[in-house]
Structure 1
Amino acid sequence: MGSSTEYSSGDETDMSDSEIEYEEKIYEELKNGNHLYKVSDDAFSCPFFPNKRKRDFLYKELQQHALGVGKCNSQKRTRKDKANHLALAKYLENDVAIDADPLQQATMVDPLADHDHNEIFVWRWIGIIVNIPTEFKDGRYVVESGTKLRDQLIKRGFNPTRVRPLWNYHGHSGTALVDHKEWFGFNNAMSFEKAYEANQHGKRSWQAKNDLKSDLNGWVARADYYNSDAMFGENLRKIGDFRTISDIMEDEARKTQACWLLAI
């Protein structure tokens, strides 16, 4: 298929026949789904990174990483490690890129381009859900598991990684925090917020106490809730901090550069 990535093995990597056979074996394993590489529609991971160094890549970044490790001359990289990454580069080139929509790739380059870079969010992107129906049972308020609510949000396309129910001395508070995946979760988090706003069940409607009924209200946490004395602030401060979009982008750029340097 057509692509700007030039993959090749053989002479450039000075591989023996046994190493080429090993690379082909790993390539077949990747095609058979034996090595997980996809985190979400936007995010990818290297299946050959040590767990303690796992991180997410854009599609093009993962291609560059795989080729960089596979073709590098550093003695820090074993032949097996290089073969693993060459197989990954070949797999991404031959079997995955066809599914990568060019428009989606362009969007993935800067998911924050249309937003005010001085806007402050709780990092990493945390959604807030309120008005969760509760039931009074055995002297305290209870509710269905956070996992069920997470699955419902996934079905709506918001792709949260976790839902954290918030509890107080009465039991379940009827509120929860919704975690989204690091850098790549921004679009999902904003889709979550906009969907509730569109149905007049966003932050402003909740604060105005308009037509609450039994419907959920949701929005993305920003500095006001992070700094609040209420239960939200206490819990948000335990799991994140608040930062401008510019700060987050600079950190992500440094991480990408550091990871690329490790690969060469």
Structure 2
Amino acid sequence: MSYSSEDETDISDSELDEYVDRCYKQLRVESHKVKFSNELFRCPFCPGKKKLVYAFKDLLQHASDVGKGSQNRDIKHKGKHLGLVKYMKNDLDQEGLALELAGLTVKPSPKDGMSVLFVWPWMGVVANLDGESISKLKTDLTKRGFDPARIRPLSDSRCAVVEFKRDWSGFYNAVMFEKEFEVGHHGKKDYLAASHSDGMYGWVARADDYNAEGVLGEYLQKNGDLKTIGDVEAEVQRKTSLLVAHLSSMIQELRVQVEKNGCLDKKVEGSCVIGVLLVSSPPNIIMFDSASKELMVDFGVRFSSAFIVAGYFPQIVSQILLASL
């Protein structure tokens, strides 16, 4: 069953219950697509959403809302989310989750997702490589959908570091990279076992890898830092606040100039960021009112590279601009 796209044909309301059961059974087989850690979960049916991980109750609420949503919503999409609701209620019945649903406070374990120290920028480790597999590693990982940014073979070892994009899509790909190796019994625990089989082993780089002796630890310490997910979110928020403040200041400059002259000074027009270019979308137009005329400004005319922020979504920038005008 594909989670990335809808099937070609839809189903009728009478077939919904059967389809929900099918989705539920599939999730029981592929539980790694839902559970990220003891505290974090993801929706396998909405891979394109900005929010990639949820607390248990938040994901349950999301799945319930979609499953009981508008009648205009695709029935299969609703059925998949109802299957997710059934799976979460029937199979993810751990004590910690039951306490959370009951509204009680659960002390997070240091091993749980929000407190884990990851190597930042997001990196993965691939071990037990031979010469041929190293040369084909980036192509292989790309074909498997993990979108690696770079591969760094480590000298005098059979390991390589996989660098992912610095944004949340990079984190998502790193997590899915690790989960696939774990499901195939080629994760880190399998690699560290007394004896392991042939083939590649892979996992996301964390604090123990960062602090390890040898070429792996040296590379990670030289090229990354240790951060929790919360640390990364805080950094993105800090950069976002700076961006919003700067854009607001420039918009005010434009307003003042329009009120004063009825038009934009060419130097300001050429140097100021006045919008963002949304990929695969027609240019958006904003109307500036002045006493003498209306000034129409094309969003896509300028986009300074100084405001390309890691993990930032252009759609959000456009919403900020619209709200500021």
SS in 1 for 2:154: strand
Of 240, 243, 249, which aligns to 2:233?
249
TM-superposed deviation, 1:145: 5.7
Counterpart for residue 186 of structure 1 = 171
TM-score normalised per structure 2: 0.42
Tell me the alpha carbon deviations over residues 10-64 of structure 1, each in whole angstroms, 9 at most, x when there is no partner.
xxxxxxxxxxxxxxxxxxxxxxxxxxxxxxxxxxxxxxxxxxxxxxxxxxxxxxx
TM-superposed deviation, 1:209: 4.0
Counterpart for residue 123 of structure 2 = 126
Is 2:101 the counterpart of 1:160? no
TM-superposed deviation, 1:152: 1.2
2: CA distance, partners of 1:160 / 1:178: 6
Counterpart for residue 78 of structure 1 = none
Tell me the alpha carbon deviations over residues 43-89 of structure 1, each in whole angstroms, 9 at most, x when there is no partner.
xxxxxxxxxxxxxxxxxxxxxxxxxxxxxxxxxxxxxxxxxxxxxxx
Counterpart for residue 139 of structure 2 = 151
Of 205, 219, 222, which aligns to 1:221?
205
Q: Unmatched 5+ residue regions in structure 1?
A: 1-101, 135-142
SS in 1 for 2:175: helix
SS in 2 for 1:205: helix
Counterpart for residue 71 of structure 2 = none
1: CA distance, partners of 2:237 / 2:53: 13
2: CA distance, partners of 1:124 / 1:112: 18
TM-superposed deviation, 1:260: 2.5
Q: Aligned partner of 2:52: which letter? A: P
Structure 1: 4+ residue segments shifted above 3 A: 102-105, 112-115, 143-146
Q: Aligned partner of 1:161: which letter? A: A
Q: Aligned partner of 1:248: which letter? A: V
1: CA distance, partners of 2:232 / 2:181: 25
Counterpart for residue 201 of structure 1 = 186
> In the TM superposition, what are the counterparts of 1:83-94 in structure 2 within 5 Å?
none
Is 2:259 the counterpart of 1:262? no
TM-superposed deviation, 1:127: 0.3
Identical amino acids, percent of aligned pairs: 37
TM-superposed deviation, 1:117: 1.4
SS in 2 for 1:263: helix
Flag the 1:227–1:253 CA change in 2: closer, same or farther, 3 A.
same
Tell me the alpha carbon deviations over residues 202-229 of structure 1, each in whole angstroms, 9 at most, x when there is no partner.
000000044322x100000100110111
TM-score normalised per structure 1: 0.52
Counterpart for residue 223 of structure 2 = 239
2: CA distance, partners of 1:118 / 1:144: 34
SS in 1 for 2:171: helix
SS in 2 for 1:246: helix
Aligned residues, how many? 148
SS in 2 for 1:238: helix
SS in 1 for 2:145: coil
Q: Unmatched 5+ residue regions in structure 2?
A: 1-44, 56-111, 249-325
Larger RCO: 1 or 2 (CA < 8 Å, sep 6+): 1
2: CA distance, partners of 1:145 / 1:222: 22
SS in 2 for 1:158: coil
Of 158, 161, 174, which aligns to 1:177?
161
Would the aligned equivalents of 1:183 and 1:252 in 2 still touch at CA under 8 Å? no
TM-superposed deviation, 1:201: 0.2
- Which structure: larger Rg? 2
Q: Aligned partner of 1:111: which letter? A: L
1: CA distance, partners of 2:183 / 2:206: 19
TM-superposed deviation, 1:103: 4.0
Is 2:116 the counterpart of 1:116? no
Would the aligned equivalents of 1:132 and 1:216 in 2 still touch at CA under 8 Å? yes
Tell me the alpha carbon deviations over residues 88-115 of structure 1, each in whole angstroms, 9 at most, x when there is no partner.
xxxxxxxxxxxxxx9455x31x334357
TM-superposed deviation, 1:231: 1.6
1: CA distance, partners of 2:218 / 2:182: 25
TM-superposed deviation, 1:144: 6.3
1: CA distance, partners of 2:53 / 2:46: 15
1: CA distance, partners of 2:167 / 2:114: 14
